[in-house]
Structure 1
Amino acid sequence: MKRLLRTLPLALLLASTFAAATDVSLAGGALHVPVPDNWVPIMQSQGDVTETQVFQVPGSSAADATLARVSITLQQVPNLNGFQQFSGNLRSHASGLKEYVAGKVTSPTENIYTAKEGTVKLDYYERYFYSGGYAIQLRCIRPTGDAKWNASFDKGCAEVAAHMPS
């Protein structure tokens, strides 16, 4: 009984982490990933080869709420070379954004940078994954805002990245 009482708080903590997430399915169920419940789906596109799901992330201000978003894009590719082409094309597109400035990455599967969208400077964090014949990009975009909100946004992105297949 004592052991049960000691493990119950941990079990409840783990359950609460997953209870606050919505499971998103892409590519006909080939990819399932939990996202925070407060992320609002604002766009989904499906094609024969590429699929994208975009979420608006409620912000600390009205400006943040309209600009902060996360997208998951996946494309069916034949092999690792296809994955490298997918990520290379998206990185090339990013470097062409207005006032693009590369940031410091800690992994070859990351792309971190700032750029302007209209008149607003945004922070971009991209991670690339390859699994089951799919190239996947997780892209998190947020304006610079208050530190507490940024930490919450970044935590949500990190949690989604942790659930991506590798």
Structure 2
Amino acid sequence: MIRLSRLILPALLLASPTLGATDVSMMGGAIRFPVPDAWVPIMQSEGEKETQVFQVPGASAADATLARVSITAQKVPNLNGFQQFAGNLRSHATALTDYAPGKANSPTENVYTAKEGAVKLDYFERYFYSDGYAIQLRCIRPAGGDAAFRAAFDKGCAEVAAHMPS
């Protein structure tokens, strides 16, 4: 029995998707999700529309200062309110400098590149509607650069998306 528990406990720890994650709560606890421990909270707003922003440490100075993830949530009355929320944020994206659409994999995604100053950035947005809340997950990182950092960044964003309420 002891030998079996020695095998099971490490397996459970390795299989845990939230291992090394910080739990985040928004909208009075109605929305909860984990983010990687390495992500540094740099902004939080509360109110009718709430936003949490995390800086994602990177391999280079550009990665470290420009890579970030934001989660924005707002209470909406119905699915039409969700569509308006997503439409407004998508409209804002098209106004960014050198906006160029990318290939989204679903209607709830928005993928594009744009410039911030002189730096070209990759944007990945995903929209969720859950229990009367409209949610945007927005992942921004420098285009190109370190492949290992891009892979780790994208993995972290995908894990957050997988834990969003839907």
TM-score range, shorter chain: over 0.9
**Cross-structure match for 1:21:** 21
**Cross-structure match for 1:86:** 85
**Cross-structure match for 1:107:** 106
**Cross-structure match for 2:154:** 154
TM-score, normalising length from structure 1?
A: 0.94
**Cross-structure match for 1:72:** 71
**Gap runs ≥5 in structure 2:** none
TM-score, normalising length from structure 2?
A: 0.94
Identity %: 73
SS in 1 for 2:11: helix
In 1, Cα distance between equivalents of 2:148 and 2:111: 20
Name the Cα RMSD after superposition: 1.3
**Cross-structure match for 2:95:** 96
In 1, Cα distance between equivalents of 2:9 and 2:52: 36
Instruction: Report the residue type matching 2:153 in the other structure.
Output: F
In 1, Cα distance between equivalents of 2:125 and 2:37: 21
Q: CA deviation at 1:8?
A: 3.4
SS in 2 for 1:124: strand
Q: Within 5 Å, which residues of 2 pair with 1:31-70? A: 31-47=31-47, 49-70=48-69
In 2, Cα distance between equivalents of 1:3 and 1:22: 30
In 1, Cα distance between equivalents of 2:46 and 2:101: 30
> What does the per-residue CA deviation read over 1:25-75, in whole Å, with 9 as the maximum and x for residues that have no partner?
00010111100001000001112x200000000011111111000000001
Number of residue pairs the alignment of both structures matches: 164
SS in 2 for 1:19: coil
